[in-house]
Amino acid sequence: MQNETIRLSQETKSRLELTPEMASRCYTCATCSSGCPASGLVPGWDARKAIRAVSLGLDQEVVDSKWPWVCTLCGRCQYACPQGIQILKTFRGLRSLRERDQVPGPLHKGTMMNLERGNNLGIPRDDFLILLAELSVELMEDDEEKPCPGFYVPVDKENANVIVTINSKEPFSEPDDLKFWWQIFYAAKEDWTVSSTNWEGVNWGLFTGDDASMKEQVHRVLENARRLKAKTILYPE
């Protein structure tokens, strides 16, 4: 009995920075997991079980599982938790504890690419600008299918009302999706711009729990807004 008491005491030393009262706060009501869109995606795991495991100091088991990576960080669980537990902070912290070469999919690679080249997919600046020009021509022609006569993408325009960030997936593989936004701006007569550099709007540093990269990417977007004296930053993602 004494050994068991000691073992549990040691297990509660979590590497996550959680509020000390968290372990006793969670009373396993399952409100979090019952409304979670990711429940059932990873056998054996859901939000409640992950929080309980962390509460018992078993954070490495959660870190090594797929659970933190199927959580979308939507925040529904935290909003509903009757005990006010910081579930989002906990799950993002669990991602931070994963070795970077063990981060799933292209997320860490894309983060490094963004820091090196200004977007997650490493699209060169000239290719980006040529694409914007070509898409502008498609939209500016005045007929029923291309309904924006006089349209152009205002790159690096100063004093615009809105500076728009872009998901690199769109210029890379789904360029027509860019035109949906642009047609709205055109119809609304919005005063907008896009930066020719560091225009990525998907912050994988945020998603992967990489604080340093997340901050650098946010800093770059802010710098673009300051340089171009834009009033508002729009993150479509």
Number of residues that bind ligand SF4 (CB under 6 A): 27
The vertex-97 CA angle with 103 and 32, nearest 5°, equals 90
Region near ligand SF4 per CB under 6 A, out of 65-73, 96-104, 109-117, 227-235: 65-73
* Residue 34 is a binding residue for ligand SF4 (CB under 6 A): no
- The single residue among 16, 18, 36, 166 that binds ligand SF4, judged by CB under 6 A, is 36
> Is residue 104 within the footprint of ligand SF4 (CB under 6 A)?
no
Q: Provide, rounded to whole angstroms, the least separation between the CB of residue 207 and ligand SF4.
A: 12
From 28-36, 124-132, 204-212, 214-222, span contacting ligand SF4 (CB under 6 A): 28-36
23 binds ligand SF4 (CB under 6 A): no
DSSP E strands, the chain: 162-164, 192-193, 232-234
Q: Are 201 and 181 in contact (CB under 8 A)?
A: no
Interface pick for ligand SF4 out of 14, 16, 18, 38 (rule CB under 6 A): 38
Range 73-77 contact pairs with CB under 8 angstroms and sequence separation of 24 or more: 73/207, 74/37, 76/35, 76/36, 76/37, 77/31, 77/32, 77/33, 77/35, 77/36, 77/47
Select 88 or 131, whichever has its Cβ closest to ligand SF4.
88
Residue 54 CA to residue 91 CA, distance in Å, equals 10
113: contact with ligand SF4 by CB under 6 A: no
